[in-house]
């Protein structure tokens, strides 16, 4: 564990100049966006870095996974302890992944208090509090651990930006407190009806069997809660350091969306050949159906919800999250 007194960046010869963090609700296309961003010759994808320790320990409890069949391998299909890329990253990182915390273990109520403090005082205020209050210091150290991991990834891959699709906006906050100047925030949104429909489909349906409302409406509530907290916490990031991307636009006009971002943050322009070529990838976490894709030659949005939701469910969604969905630009 690194001490908080150690400032970021460290003295290692790294080219790392940006960390692109994707904050989103689950089932919003974060893995697809991670792959598109990481296809850039200056960049590298890592997936959900906050899950790294759980992947190394093969610990589904630590990962809080509902899916018993979720694969705990790198996207190269090897377990992390046999993947040459992650073995080299661990060496450069300089500490065992097994013994290093990359995600919070604090309870939701405690996290809510820290988020309220961050909203009130910003990253500098949290850093001041961390000096006096050890539970907060431990949280900021998690952010520092992740940033040093990004640095090691950059050293091994030669990339100058690293993509972290950990999704959790609380986790983003920890990184932002650790190194505000390095972080770029990508708020990824998708039509809430599509998200909630995807959250209750297939094997994921089991999670929603209990409860007073139909599964789709329970999922709609969760989507609204997560999305509101992402929008709220993103207020503490300067407009020049954040973008809002829509999943549907990423699929329909990827170059326009990605190059708007490239221009904003001084990256070389994207070309669609970037993601149509085979590139070595070592991604953890995220959607298995996308993570193990070798080529992204078709970017078709998943619009199954448009033909699957009856009038009653759509009316229920409208009551729960209609206003929020419209605020994000989903009008009909």
Tell me whether residue 135 or residue 158 sits nearer to Zn ion (CB atom): 158
Beta strands in 199-294, from DSSP E residues, in sequence order: 242-246
Interface with Zn ion by CB under 5 A: which residues? 74, 76, 83, 85, 282
Q: How far is the CB of 199 from Zn ion (least distance, A)?
A: 28
Q: How far is the CB of 78 from Zn ion (least distance, A)?
A: 5
Task: For residue 308, report the phi and psi dihedrals to the nearest 5 degrees.
Answer: -115, -15
Tell me whether residue 6 or residue 77 sits nearer to Zn ion (CB atom): 77
Q: Would you tell me the crossing angle of helices 169-178 and 134-157 to the nearest 10 degrees?
A: 80
Tell me whether residue 84 or residue 232 sits nearer to Zn ion (CB atom): 84
Tell me whether residue 47 or residue 254 sits nearer to Zn ion (CB atom): 47
CA quadruple 321, 327, 330, 331: dihedral sign? positive
Tell me whether residue 47 or residue 123 sits nearer to Zn ion (CB atom): 47
Tell me whether residue 76 or residue 160 sits nearer to Zn ion (CB atom): 76
Q: How many CB atoms lie within 10 A of CB 60?
A: 14
Tell me whether residue 43 or residue 215 sits nearer to Zn ion (CB atom): 43
Q: CA-to-CA distance for 44 and 299, rounded, in angstroms?
A: 20
Q: Are 20 and 162 in contact (CB under 8 A)?
A: yes
Q: How far is the CB of 44 from Zn ion (least distance, A)?
A: 12
Task: For residue 95, report the phi and psi dihedrals to the nearest 5 degrees.
Answer: -150, 160
Classify the phi-psi angles of 94: left when phi > 0, otherwise alpha if psi is within -120 to 50, otherwise beta: left
Per the DSSP assignment, residues forming a β-bridge with 22 are 186
Q: How far is the CB of 89 from Zn ion (least distance, A)?
A: 10
Q: Are 124 and 80 in contact (CB under 8 A)?
A: no
Q: How far is the CB of 43 from Zn ion (least distance, A)?
A: 17
Tell me whether residue 288 or residue 301 sits nearer to Zn ion (CB atom): 288
Q: CA-to-CA distance for 102 and 56, rounded, in angstroms?
A: 12
* Inter-CA distances, 326 with 72, 86, 248, 303, 323, Å: 37, 42, 15, 18, 5
Q: How far is the CB of 23 from Zn ion (least distance, A)?
A: 25
Q: CA-to-CA distance for 165 and 284, rounded, in angstroms?
A: 10
Q: Are 237 and 183 in contact (CB under 8 A)?
A: yes
Q: Are 119 and 232 in contact (CB under 8 A)?
A: yes
Q: How far is the CB of 45 from Zn ion (least distance, A)?
A: 11
160 HSE (CA, 13 A, CB side): 8
Tell me whether residue 24 or residue 53 sits nearer to Zn ion (CB atom): 53
Q: How far is the CB of 158 from Zn ion (least distance, A)?
A: 16
Q: How far is the CB of 282 from Zn ion (least distance, A)?
A: 4
Residue 186: its H or E element? strand 183-189
């Amino acid at each position: 564990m690194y001490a908080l007194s150690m400032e970021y960046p460290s003295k290692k010869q790294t080219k790392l100049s940006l960390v692109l963090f994707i904050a989103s609700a689950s089932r919003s296309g974060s893995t697809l966006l991670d792959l598109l961003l990481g296809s850039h010759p200056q960049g590298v994808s890592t997936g959900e870095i906050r899950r790294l320790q759980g992947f190394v320990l093969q610990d589904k409890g630590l990962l809080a996974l509902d899916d018993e069949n979720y694969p705990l391998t790198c996207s190269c299909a090897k377990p992390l302890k046999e993947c040459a890329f992650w073995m080299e990253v661990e060496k450069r990182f300089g500490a065992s992944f097994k013994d290093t915390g990359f995600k919070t273990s604090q309870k939701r109520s405690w996290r809510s208090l820290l988020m309220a403090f961050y909203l009130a005082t910003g990253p500098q205020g949290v850093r001041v509090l961390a000096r006096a209050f050890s539970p907060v210091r431990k949280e900021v150290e998690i952010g520092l651990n992740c940033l040093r991991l990004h640095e090691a990834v950059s050293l091994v891959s030669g990339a100058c930006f690293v993509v972290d699709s950990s999704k959790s906006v609380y986790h983003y906050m920890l990184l932002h407190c650790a190194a505000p100047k390095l972080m770029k925030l990508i708020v990824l949104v998708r039509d809430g009806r599509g998200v909630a429909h995807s959250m209750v489909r297939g094997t994921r349906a089991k999670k929603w069997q209990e409860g007073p409302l139909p599964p789709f409406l329970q999922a709609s509530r969760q989507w609204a809660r997560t999305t509101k907290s992402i929008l709220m916490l993103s207020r503490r990031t300067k407009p020049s350091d954040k973008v809002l991307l829509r999943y549907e636009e990423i699929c329909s006009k990827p170059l326009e969306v990605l190059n708007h971002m490239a221009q904003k943050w001084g990256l070389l322009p994207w070309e669609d050949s970037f993601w149509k070529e085979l590139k070595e990838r070592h991604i953890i976490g995220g959607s298995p159906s996308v993570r193990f894709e070798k080529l992204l030659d078709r970017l078709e949005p998943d619009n199954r919800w448009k033909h699957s939701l009856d009038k009653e469910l759509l009316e229920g969604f409208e009551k729960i999250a209609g206003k929020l969905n419209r605020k994000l630009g989903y009008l009909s």
